[in-house]
Structure 1
Amino acid sequence: MKHVYRFSLPGWAVPQQEEFYALMARRGLFVEKRGFLLTRFSKGDPAELLYRLDAAPSRGQPPEEERLQFYESCGWHFVCKADYFHLYCAEKGAGELHTDAAWQNETLLPVRKSLRDELIGAGVQVVFWLLLFFLNFWVNGGIRGDLTVSETTVLFLAQCGFVLPALLILLILLKLFTSALAMHGFTNYLRSVRGEKITRLSLRGFLFCEYGTAMFYAAVFLALICTLILLTPRTVPMGQEPSSQVLLRLEQLEPNATVLQGTGSLGQESGQTEVVDVPLASLQLHNLQLSDTNGNTPWLDQHYIQLSGPLDPVLVAQSMAKYLSLGDPLPVKEPLPAGIDCAFLDDSRTDLIEVCLASGNRILHIQYLGSASDAQTVMALASQALTENSKSGV
């Protein structure tokens, strides 16, 4: 026996499902099994059939044997379970499955309660994700530098750009919208059961809206996955020019180290460095702890962000300096290197220099542990990397 599959209509769309299955039967396709995503049809000779959905005692529970026998005696045959309901069919001309509107309304109330709970759950999810985001950054901000709400938000947007949070918010709002639509549609169905006059879309209009919403939901989800993939860092050879990477090399800060050996905290060899080369705003992490022939352990950690969207580079640089630094970087008031808009510096610790510079929409944060270079050298090399990158257009 040949089978075909069609996308399942939502469980709450009772009259639309009944009409859709009858239409399929006239085309020679008969329901065998209804799944969450797909409904399986068997092929046969076209027939005029009636389909009706009967509320299940609980979601997914099979019908009682007594009810099956009673419906069979009335000409209605059990087809399959259908989410909140059981699906029955009969030949055209058979008496209606339900003749007592008050009793039918009573059996449908648990379904309405389930839909209401789903709507409340979707609303709770929206609040939960918003709270989780702010709590996560507030806690980390408090530990790493007591960030304000504005600094927390701007740093988040600088790291991941506007696309990722916009897609996440859109995905959550779509879930909330579909839950509200289900609640509204089923409430209208209950009103029709009670004999009230309602206006509803034709089957074609309903299918257009339902499949259109599903395709939009899938497109947003796919865009979210693609965005996450694009934000994944990539590896390039250390031998590239600093201006093309917007990164300092440890050899530039430790000119007396004749041999560098070991691996970084991410497991990469010293000849490689982690670089983000994607067009979206991104956060770059570079963490190498290497040793020279004298047993010294110079250490370099860099975070690079290229901003996209209407973000204030000075505020982002200030937020990065507070969030990433071990100390308390202060604004540099003396004349800044050419091309640098602002800088934050902390060189109060022995052999530890922390600096954050902004040039246009590019920001670089440096943590350097070593004795071969001073703060002015670190700032000069970082400034050169940022400004050369600007000239090259990379």
Structure 2
Amino acid sequence: MNFFLQAHEKLQESKFDVLLSDAIAPCGELIAELLRIPFLYSLRFSPGYTMEKYSGGLLLPPSYVPVILSGLGGPMSFKERVKNMICMLYFDFWFQTFRENEWDQFYSETLGRPTTLAETMGKAEMWLIRSYWDLDFPHPTLPNIDYVGGLHCKPAKPLPKEMEDFVKSSGEHGVVVFSLGSMVSDMTEEKADAIAWALAQIPQKNDLLGHPKTKVFVTHGGANGLYEAIHHGIPMIGIPLFGEQHDNIAHMVAKGAAVALNIRTMSRSDLLNALEEVIDNPLYKKNAMWLSTIHHDQPMKPLNRTIFWIESVMRHKGAKHLRPLAHNLTWYQYHSLDVIGFLLACVVAATVLSVKCCLFACRFFVKQEKKRKNE
């Protein structure tokens, strides 16, 4: 605790104007609250989009928005919508349990007042989500949420002479880029042999992404590599390994720019057939170029947009004018349950009153009829 206080004092002396944090890792918002400075989030996703929903106020209807980590993408069948709903409920339960544990207590004790992790996160001025409509599918958004996917992408630079000579030696066949990220070290020798065998069967060579001769990108589906492929308009073969990689590849498959393989069941022939399919079928290249056009057809580059929002928050000491009023509501107010309950009560009261009036009128007329007959 002494170390924390010393670090806090040192940060206070530095007089920062703004804090940029990743929502997936707690404590950035706590530091901003202690320093009394505005903060922004930069993230690819949170499990099940729970933080974007409960802390950011983002509306993500499960009827047509695939939940992250569900492995779904594109238009969903009834069966897939059932799976999507189950995934959403699972992650919602996880988030409710997660935020009600010691994190809420820790934040309350640190700030000296009752609060929760979700409430503190909800004070973010901007949510800069590292995705865009070339990878994701359209859904409702908010003024203080911007999509800056591909902000790390840059035009390809000339290759070193030795590498350029190697690429040119491929002739009209071109090259294939193969990368499975840091997780490739965990691959079994059997799978490594299958991949090496399949790559040896095609006339293309292997090299870096972004060269005009690149025909296909064999990838694990990480967001950074995926956006580099989109940036350059390169079709893909996805071999997802964990996390959101299954979702990323599912989205690319739904958009017609990739073929997906299962690392657990993939054989030599499976990879070879996928390579031949993507290389020989021009539709994959056409769809990849279409996504690339969407990615580049923006009024401002993702990196420039990110810089703009950070500087905007610094200039205005926040972005309260973009903050949705949903943050001021309780969960039952947000879903209008109090209004619905009031209206239902009115309907019930009116119905009961109408029934009683009808019964009273019936009794009155019956009495009048009996009286008339008796007379």
Q: Normalising by structure 2, what TM-score?
A: 0.24
Larger RCO of the pair (alpha carbons < 8 Å, separation 6+): 2
Which structure has more helix as a fraction of its residues?
Answer: 2
Q: Normalising by structure 1, what TM-score?
A: 0.23
Which structure has more strand as a fraction of its residues?
Answer: 1
Larger radius of gyration: 1
